[in-house]
């Protein structure tokens, strides 16, 4: 593993971008299930799992049947040339390395399934518009999963509603509280209010009412 890679965590919009996954087995299936939520996905393989075939029939991904191990480099390049990201996920490490080399020569990003590539896919926690990515850069996938489970105990589903409430209150405060520092203070008070969090576990409306009462107290 190359520990000298200078990897910066980023959130990136993959809408309309093409992700090509090489390999139609369980690993390719898992990668396709993740990326189809964010991008256009093509899976290239001599064979495909039943789930991949079902996903293709649902119109969510494209399947291309080809044995890349028997193809010359220029033909492989034809297949991946329009990709933003390529994921070599076959059970042949030498073929995966060959695909990665071809991609790199043509400035196409690589996500490797067994080592560090240009792109590392973290373990992800999503709560509404709150997204948390966890990665050990391939050193310990088990620790990534363990950390995710620990964080999920703290970052509850109520965080999604708190984001919604904060957004609503920011818009309201901009119209009714002219001083920015006052708005910031009120938002933090709402965020740090135990009663608001408790109410969110019952209903958004109840939490919203408490938040507006906090604003009214400040405006007296």
Secondary structure (H, E, C), 49-87: CHHHHHHHHCCCCEEEECCHHHCCHHHHHHHHCCCCEEE
Claim to verify: residue 8 and residue 79 sit in the same structural domain: yes
18 shares its domain with 97: yes
pLDDT tens digits along 188-206? 999 999 999 999 999 999 9
Please tell me the pTM assigned to this model: 0.82
Q: Are residues 186 and 111 in the same domain?
A: no
**Distances, alpha carbon 60 to alpha carbons 166, 168, 189, in Å:** 34, 34, 44
Q: Are residues 75 and 24 in the same domain?
A: yes
Residue 74 is encoded by which pair of tokens? 């220029």
Residue 184, both tokens: 């910031």
pLDDT, tens digit, for every residue of 8-37? 888 999 999 999 999 999 999 999 999 999
């Amino acid at each position: 593993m190359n520990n000298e890679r200078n990897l910066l965590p980023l959130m990136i919009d993959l809408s309309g971008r093409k992700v090509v996954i090489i390999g139609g087995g369980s690993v390719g299936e898992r990668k396709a299930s993740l990326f189809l939520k964010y991008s256009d996905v093509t899976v290239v393989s001599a064979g495909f799992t039943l789930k991949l075939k079902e996903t293709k029939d649902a119109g969510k991904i494209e399947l291309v049947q080809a044995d890349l191990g028997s193809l010359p480099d220029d033909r492989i390049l034809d297949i991946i040339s329009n990709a933003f990201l390529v994921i070599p996920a076959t059970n042949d490490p030498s073929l995966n390395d060959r695909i990665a080399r071809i991609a790199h020569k043509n400035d196409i990003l690589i996500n490797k399934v067994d080592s560090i590539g240009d792109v590392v896919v973290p373990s992800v926690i999503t709560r509404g518009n709150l997204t948390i990515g966890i990665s050990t850069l391939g050193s310990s996938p088990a620790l990534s999963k363990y950390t995710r489970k620990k964080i999920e105990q703290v970052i509850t589903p109520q965080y999604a509603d708190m984001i919604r409430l904060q957004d609503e209150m920011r818009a309201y405060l901009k119209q009714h509280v002219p001083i920015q520092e006052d708005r910031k203070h009120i938002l933090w008070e709402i965020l740090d209010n135990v009663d608001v969090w408790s109410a969110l576990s019952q209903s958004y409306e109840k939490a919203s009412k408490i938040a507006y009462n906090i604003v009214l107290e400040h405006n007296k």
